[in-house]
Amino acid sequence: MSNNVALARTDNAAELERFREIQRLCYQCAEEVAATLEPGVTEREACRRMRRWLRDHGVDDWLHTPFAWFGDRTAFQGFKVPTQFLPSGRRLEEGMPYILDMAPVKKGFSADIGYGGVLGENRIWQQLDADLAAHRTLILELVRERRTFADIYAEVDALIDRQGYQNRHRKYPGRVIGHQVGIIGGPLPKGVGFPFGVRFLQTIGRELVKERLEGRSPLWNGARQSQHPPTPGLWAVEPHIGFRGVGVKFEELLVVTEDDAYWLDDDLPHVHRWAARKASA
Amino acid sequence: MTSPQTSETVRRRRVRGDGVDLAVYEQGDPARPTVLLMHGYPDTHAVWDEVAGRLAERYHVVRYDVRGAGASSRPFGKRNYTFSYLMADMTAVLDATAPERKAHLVGHDWGSIQAWEAACTMPERFASFTSISGPCLDHVAGLTRRNLRRPTPRNVRNGLGQAVRSWYIYFFQTPLLPEMVWRAGMAGAFAKALEVGEGVPSRDGHPARTLPRDGAAGVGLYRANMLRRMRRPLDRRTDVPTQVIVPTKDLFVSPHLVGGLGDRVPDLSLRTIPAGHWVVRSHPEVIARWIGEHITGTTGGTLTAAESRALRRARVAPDRRPFEGSLVVVTGAGSGIGRATALAFAERGAEVVAADLDPASAQRTAELARLLGPDAHAFQVDVADADAMEDFAKTVLHDHGVPEVVVNNAGIGMAGGFLDHTPDDWKRVLDVNLWGVVHGTRLFAGQMAERGQGGHIVNTASAAAFTPSRTLPAYATSKAAVLMLSECLRAELAGQGIGVTAICPGVVNTNITRTSRFVGRDAAAQQQDRERASRAYALRNYGPDRVAEQVVRAVLKDRAVVPVTPEAHVSRLVSRLSPGLMRLFARIDVG
């Protein structure tokens, strides 16, 4: 890919379809790997399964290699240094929440998803997951109103506060609630990354500079750099909330156009789960 | 005798025990469940008069004078006071008054020591057992040996505590002298000591007119059994559902003697009461209620919400959470420190009442608390409104009972120069920050005092209470008042087992900065101030959860004043060491 094109063209239906495909592939992977999780499985083992599954399905590069967090690590409890995000030897137990997070690239097209679940019953997880739904609606509404990213970040924070939870995405590098994704290319070798793919780093580095010149940022957080209206493009949005050692997140692609925004795909496991819960309530 | 159904009538009869005649007293409908009340030394059945009267409305109450006391025979010689005789007496009384059914056993002092023996050796005769201020001798012997084998400072301290409390037991082992002292007019001094030391004035029947003879004869109980069991303790266990009532100010029986009891009594409940040894005389209402609750609980009767909570609180279990069965009321529970505190208590097993001016946020706190604890309830209340607070306290009492812990946390912030504060500003700050605490404390401390089982009150003051500042005249004044109020109250309520704590958090990242009023500013400037303060507080990044942990700790350890953040500690230290320096700091305009 040339360095001159935008990360992703939101007016190109065919291209968006390719992004939708890779995002669906990710969720399929998440669901299939989640179904194999049982007591005793470690985070490293879960990541290995995700990597293998994706490789077997044509994935050739990574924005970042898959992550898995089990138990109170889903809420990043006690996380002080970035290496703590890496998969550990923590074993899954009955009643434990887990999060699978993957960001593969297939033929240049990338996606970045987060998939939360729980092994068996966990009341706190159920409540958190139900409350996470409001964030998907809120973020979309505010982006459509074209409020600044920093503003939206603050509004999400306020909702988290009202809900009585903790903002966990502030623990991510750059305290981001979202970041831009797109077509990944360049001269660097594919498939190398621990945990971030070198091509992704090159792309994001380029964008950081390019966007900075326009007074914007490809990273979406609450800082001054994000005090700008939503940038058209594809954004991986990942609100992550935590409460008493339980963390839940979703991450999926948001399409931002010049004057509108929509979720790239509504046919996703968490969207169906929330709808079912609402219907049964 | 002619109207046996009325609870006041005491029916007296004599029962033949093992070689002695026992004076037996019955009250209440014999068709109802039987409660056997065992008196201690040097009392007679009459020590139970108040409790028996209350229980007789629901139960068939049986009491008797133990051999050597009151109107029963006084055999001579310590041989006649061994456990085997005492157990034979008890069996005879039960056979005569409650044949072929289980009784509910209650013992105080030596009555309790006998009752332990009975519950361990003939458990089939009892449906429940309540022990007050009288341990199982074998347990005490076992505990003492264990503690001697592991002489940690705490074990040594506790052991010495009981050793000192047992002075009279050594004295009773000396021959003749104790009898002579009793006969020589000790009785009058005893009655006086009871009134002065225990707050139990003499009344008709207690101390009994037979006290000199009871005291002298009853010494046999100690001589016949104490040494023997201390030397060769037996492995005593019981499956009878047992409730142990521990008076924490007992001058004769150390509260620590219940240590390790859970291993030997699988179905064990423990209740403490801030009272002296003669708790059955000083707090008959509470004792009767607790006996009734224990009986109802073990027989599967219907209990009110407050009663079943009380039983849960008393229950001893290895995985018990520290506030299991407690009711905790928190005002300003919709956000910040209030919400975090409510959740911290819920996490430790407490049932929470979350009150806030904003009903939605209170509701939310209750929802979260239910995820962590047994149950939670939300209330909308303006703490500044005396009538509303009165209603609130009444509703809580009616629906859930008396709270064990009340956290008066609701407060508002206000900053700016003194001359910029209007009288209305002052009124608002004092109404919420001071009067809110006054109302909450007055109403709930009143409930706690009336119930007589102690409790704890936590008032959220502030580091501003001892940190003068030109920018916080109204706020700091209100919080200083809360601190002083807490200190005064603590002194007053100490005698009733009600602890009072003032929490002084310091700079904590909550939404108080976003709702504070910055006086003397227009709306835009005020908004700017709020954002600036919020940013500064966020940067400090001391979360309300950490304050909540300190609140819980303060309640468990009964702390008086608790500065929370490091800057609060420093401020308190400097305000004591160098008030002049504080005055200098106070001049800095941080607004």
What average pLDDT does the structure give for chain B? 91
- Quote the pLDDT of residue B477: 96
Task: Tell me whether B372 touches chain A (CB under 8 Å).
Answer: yes
Range of weakest confidence among A30-39, A180-189, B207-216, B484-493: A180-189
- Quote the pLDDT of residue B7: 59
Flag if A164 and B511 touch (Cβ within 8 Å). no
Q: CB–CB of B105/B115 below 8 Å? A: yes
For residue A22, is pLDDT > 60? yes
* Long-range contact pairs involving B324-327 (C-beta distance under 8 Å, separation at least 24): B324/B348, B324/B349, B324/B350, B324/B374, B325/B349, B325/B351, B326/B350, B326/B351, B326/B403, B326/B404, B326/B405, B327/B351, B327/B352, B327/B353, B327/B396, B327/B400, B327/B401, B327/B402, B327/B403, B327/B404, B327/B405
A28 CB-contact burial (10 Å; exposed 0-12 / middle 13-18 / buried 19+)? middle
Task: Tell me whether B213 touches chain A (CB under 8 Å).
Answer: no
Once rounded to an integer, what is the mean pLDDT over residues B477-489? 96
More confident of the two residues A6 and A268? A268
State the Cα–Cα distance between residues B1 and B13, nearest whole angstrom.
10
Residues of chain A in contact with residue B364, where contact means CB-CB under 8 angstroms, are: 162-164
B536-583 pLDDT tens trace: 887 788 889 999 999 999 999 999 999 999 999 999 999 999 999 989
Hey, which residues does B414 pair with through a beta bridge?
A: B517
Among candidates A123, A124, A164 on the partner chain, residue whose Cβ is nearest the Cβ of B339: A164
Look at the pTM and tell me if it is higher than 0.95.
no
Residues of chain A in contact with residue B511, where contact means CB-CB under 8 angstroms, are: 161
* Residue in B closest to A223 by C-alpha: B535
Rounded CA Rg of chain B: 28
In sequence order, the 6+-apart residues with CB closer than 8 A to the CB of B332 are B338, B355, B356, B357, B383, B409, B410, B411, B460
CA distance A175 to chain B (A): 14
Residues in chain A whose Cβ is within 8 Å of chain B: 123-124, 127, 161-164, 243-244
- Quote the pLDDT of residue A241: 96
- Quote the pLDDT of residue B553: 96
Confidence tier at A6 by pLDDT (50, 70, 90): low
ipTM score assigned to the predicted complex: 0.86
CA distance A159 to chain B (A): 12
Once rounded to an integer, what is the mean pLDDT over residues B182-210? 89
CA distance B364 to chain A (A): 7
For residue B326, is pLDDT > 90? yes
Flag if B511 and A163 touch (Cβ within 8 Å). no
CA distance A169 to chain B (A): 16
Residues of chain B in contact with residue A124, where contact means CB-CB under 8 angstroms, are: 371-372
Confidence tier at A65 by pLDDT (50, 70, 90): very high
State the Cα–Cα distance between residues B529 and B263, nearest whole angstrom.
60
For residue B359, is pLDDT > 50? yes
- Quote the pLDDT of residue B529: 84
What is the domain partition of chain A in residue ranges? 13-280
- Quote the pLDDT of residue B319: 82
Q: Which DSSP string corresponds to B46-71? A: GGGHHHHHHHTTTSEEEEEPPTTSTT
- Quote the pLDDT of residue B2: 38
Architecture of the domain made up of A13-280: Alpha-Beta Complex (3.90)
Flag if B371 and A163 touch (Cβ within 8 Å). no
Among candidates B343, B364, B371 on the partner chain, residue whose Cβ is nearest the Cβ of A163: B364
B409-464 pLDDT tens trace: 999 999 899 999 999 999 999 999 999 999 999 999 999 999 888 899 999 999 99
Q: Given B64, B85, B222, B475, which residue is catalytic?
A: B475
Q: Is B475 a catalytic residue?
A: yes
Residue B25 half-sphere exposure, CB side, CA atoms within 13 Å? 23
From the CB of residue B561, how many other CB atoms can be counted at a distance below 10 Å? 18
For each of the domains in chain B, give its residue range(s) and CATH number, in order of start. Answer: 11-314 (3.40.50.1820), 327-586 (3.40.50.720)
Flag if B361 and A243 touch (Cβ within 8 Å). no
CA distance A153 to chain B (A): 15
State the Cα–Cα distance between residues B309 and B321, nearest whole angstrom.
13
State the Cα–Cα distance between residues B214 and B147, nearest whole angstrom.
34
Flag if B511 and A243 touch (Cβ within 8 Å). no
- Quote the pLDDT of residue B241: 96
State the Cα–Cα distance between residues A77 and A67, nearest whole angstrom.
16
- Quote the pLDDT of residue A204: 85
Flag if B347 and A127 touch (Cβ within 8 Å). no
The DSSP secondary-structure symbol of B377 reads E
Among candidates A123, A164, A244 on the partner chain, residue whose Cβ is nearest the Cβ of B364: A164
The full 3-state SS of B521-579, as one line of letters, equals: CCHHHHHHHHHHHHHHHHHHCCCHHHHHHHHHHHHHHCCCEEECCHHHHHHHHHHHHCH
* Residue in A closest to B368 by C-alpha: A164
Residues of chain A in contact with residue B335, where contact means CB-CB under 8 angstroms, are: 161
CA distance A7 to chain B (A): 34
State the Cα–Cα distance between residues B431 and B482, nearest whole angstrom.
12
In sequence order, the 6+-apart residues with CB closer than 8 A to the CB of B208 are B43, B44, B46, B69, B70, B214
> Peptide bond preceding B374: is omega within 30 degrees of 0, i.e. cis?
no
Collapsing DSSP to helix, strand or coil, B474 comes out as: helix
For residue A185, is pLDDT > 90? no
Indicate which of B371, B372, B511 best probes the interface with A, i.e. most A CBs within 10 Å of its own CB: B371
The DSSP secondary-structure symbol of A230 reads P
- Quote the pLDDT of residue B518: 85
B175 CB-contact burial (10 Å; exposed 0-12 / middle 13-18 / buried 19+)? exposed
Among candidates A127, A161, A162 on the partner chain, residue whose Cβ is nearest the Cβ of B371: A127
